[in-house]
Structures are given as C-alpha cells and as structure tokens.
Amino acid sequence: MDLTNVSPDDEELLKFIESARPKIYVVGAGGSGSNTITRMAELNIEGATLVAANTDAPHLARTKATRKILLGKKTTRGLGAGSDPKLGEEAAQESKDEIRHVLSDGQLVFIT
C-alpha cells in the first residue's frame, strides 16, 4: 500500500486497517522446521511472527526466529529427541502451556 499521499483524514482508516490484520504465526517444529524459520527470516518474510520450537537447545539458539520455545526442558534437557517421535511428543506435552501462551493471540497458525 502506497502511503505517500495519505491525508490526515486517512489516519483513522489506517489505524483500523492495521488493527484488522490477522495475527499470523509460522511455527517451525524440530530441527527441520527451525531451519525453515531461519530461511524465512533470512528472506525477510513480513506479516507473520516466526516461532521456532525445538528440543535441541544449541540448534534453537542458532535459529533466527522472533520467538523460541525450548520443548521438554525436563524430558530432553535440551539435548534433542534424537529423531524419536514419541520423545518429541512427550517434550511437546511438557511444554504445552508455554506453546499455548506464545500462540494465544494467533488467528492463523501454520506449522512446518
């Protein structure tokens, strides 16, 4: 939207447009999902909050994301799930309150 010719009368309309935008999250789950989030950040994707959720703390630390969730702090101690889907599920269950908190205002959530 070209905002160079905006009159003072348009300010209220612009505020409304901004407030009406849906809150969109893109969540990268695990190592591959976190890599996707990093790539999206490098491409300067706009209009969505980029969230990485991973059991592997060092990998998560290297991820370029707006928000980061270390899954299963007790379950995996930040050492990853070792491609074990059951362990990953347990870690996600342990972190469900944090996941809900981070995504609570989302109107549209994509998981990769």
Q: Tell me: the pLDDT tens digits for 28-53? A: 999 999 999 999 999 999 999 999 99
The mean pLDDT value of the chain amounts to: 93
* 90 domain-assigned: yes
- Is 94 among the domain residues? yes
Q: For residue 94, give every residue at least 6 positions away whose Cβ sits within 8 Å of its Cβ, in sequence order, or none.
A: 71, 72, 73, 74, 75
Segments forming the whole domain that contains residue 50: 22-111
Predicted confidence at residue 44, as pLDDT, reads 96
pLDDT of 70 reads 99
Residue 93 belongs to domain with CATH number: 3.40.50.1440
Q: Provide the domain count of the chain.
A: 1
Residue 100 lies in a domain: yes
Q: Which residues of the chain have pLDDT under 70?
A: 1-6
Within a domain: residue 12? Answer: no
pLDDT of residue 2: 58
